[in-house]
Amino acid sequence: MPLLEVHELRVVYGNGNEALKSITFSAEKGELVGVIGRSGAGKSTLLRCINGMQKPTGGRIVLDGVDLTAMNESELRKARREIGFVWQEYNLVERLPAITNVLTGRLGYNSGFASFFGYFDKSHREIALKSLEQVGLLHRAKFRADKLSGGEKQRVSIARAISQQPKILLADEPVASLDPELSVQVLSDLARVAREVGVLTLINIHQVELAQQFCDRLIGIARGKIVFDGPPSELNLTVLDAIYRFDKNLSEKDLAELARLRELIPG
Ligand SMILES: Nc1ncnc2c1ncn2[C@@H]1O[C@H](COP(=O)(O)OP(=O)(O)OP(=O)(O)O)[C@@H](O)[C@H]1O
Ligand SMILES: [Mg+2]
């Protein structure tokens, strides 16, 4: 049985917008999957469903044999301990040191009473420090988050997600707030740590080149449907057209992006 099974997932938002149409795929432990697609394709909606933040209209998500879509709120809260999430905008507590931010990844496993007083026992602290070490930031452990650079902040948030010892790691546009050079660095850290830990990782990402460089497998989404699922080497012009084409109203920016991609990827 695969670690993650997404079966005919459908999401219709309150305003009638059908963001996901019938998404079906499965993924194994240790895989590093890039989810690509243009703005509005449904990438974030997909990750939010897997994380339990968005209730699907239909379909199933089964993680390690357990159907997340059949859970009540409290069951879901427990299940979410095992799902690590990395946001584009880091979501750190700015006034707290890096290590404390990472420790919040252990909250789900610490007793509520102890957490209330900010107390985490040694085993939690060791896991948090190890996680910081894995992203190369042990020397920043005591720095307040607001004193860290953007790249460092994102590394802390990766460490926080890893410290949950998750079954699955989800990252929604983790490098979209960073400049190109830092994007490469942070993404390669994320990929390296994910591989070291052997955790199934899904990364939403705009930049096709980066996805190709760091992922084992790409899933291309266009208008709520999977239009490509395969290794980066199989990405060609026809596929890119399917992922990035718009029926109408291509903006100048879209056209430029498409032209740039055509240059990059031999078809
Ligand atoms: N809360 C919401 N209510 C209504 N419609 C929404 C909501 N969130 C997203 N949508 C719509 O659902 C579709 C998919 O959005 P989603 O955020 O999943 O796309 P995305 O691929 O992550 O885009 P981006 O690359 O811009 O982050 C879009 O048409 C979007 O406008
Ligand atoms: Mg998004």
pLDDT tens-place string over residues 167-210: 999 999 999 999 999 999 999 999 999 999 999 999 999 888 89
Backbone angles phi, psi at 224, to 5 degrees: 80, 5
- The reported pLDDT for the residue numbered 247 is 46
Q: How much of the chain, in percent, has pLDDT values that exceed 70?
A: 87
Average pLDDT over residues 62-73: 94
Chain CA centroid to CA 5, Å: 16
Ligand 1 site, CB within 6 A = 13, 15, 17, 19, 37, 39-45
- Ligand 1, atom 31, lies closest to the CA of 40
Closest C-alpha among 192, 175, 220 to residue 37: 220
Nearest ligand (C-alpha, residue 46): 1
Residue 83 · residue 63 · CB < 8 Å: yes
State yes or no: pLDDT of 49 exceeds 70.
yes
d(CA 141, CA 128): 10
Residue 74: CB atoms within 10 Å? 8
Average pLDDT over residues 22-48: 96
Q: Could you read off the pLDDT of 113-139 as tens digits, one per residue?
A: 556 556 667 888 899 999 999 999 999
Average pLDDT over residues 246-259: 62
- The reported pLDDT for the residue numbered 261 is 65
- The reported pLDDT for the residue numbered 116 is 56
Q: Which residues of 144-159 are buried (b: 16+ CB within 10 A; e: fewer)?
A: bbeebeebbbbbbbbb
Distances (CA, A) of 201 to 105, 144, 236, 261: 17, 28, 23, 25
- Ligand 1, atom 1, lies closest to the CA of 13
Residue 161 · residue 169 · CB < 8 Å: yes
- Let me know if 56 is exposed, middle or buried by CB neighbors in 10 A (0-12, 13-18, 19+): buried
Average pLDDT over residues 223-239: 92
DSSP state of 149: -
- The reported pLDDT for the residue numbered 101 is 92
- The reported pLDDT for the residue numbered 244 is 79
- The reported pLDDT for the residue numbered 267 is 44
Q: Candidates 23, 39, 53: which one to mutate for ligand 1, based on the most atoms within 8 Å of Cβ?
A: 39
d(CA 248, CA 254): 11
**Interhelix angle for 122-134 vs 180-197, to 10°?**
130
Average pLDDT over residues 65-82: 92
Query: Mean pLDDT, the chain, as a whole number?
Result: 89
- The reported pLDDT for the residue numbered 186 is 94
Residue type for position 235: L
State yes or no: pLDDT of 249 exceeds 70.
no
- Ligand 1, atom 30, lies closest to the CA of 40
Banded pLDDT at 239 (limits 50, 70, 90): confident
Nearest ligand (C-alpha, residue 171): 2
Closest C-alpha among 88, 8, 94, 93 to residue 56: 8
Q: What CATH number is given for 31-53+80-235 in this structure?
A: 3.40.50.300
Query: Which residues are near ligand 2, the ion (C-beta closer than 5 Å)?
Result: 43-44
Nearest ligand (C-alpha, residue 219): 1
Q: How many residues does the chain have?
A: 267
State yes or no: pLDDT of 63 exceeds 90.
yes
State yes or no: pLDDT of 260 exceeds 80.
no
Is the four-CA dihedral 202, 171, 98, 177 of positive or negative sign?
positive
Closest C-alpha among 204, 201, 190 to residue 88: 204
- The reported pLDDT for the residue numbered 117 is 54
Q: Candidates 21, 45, 253: which one to mutate for ligand 1, based on the most atoms within 8 Å of Cβ?
A: 45
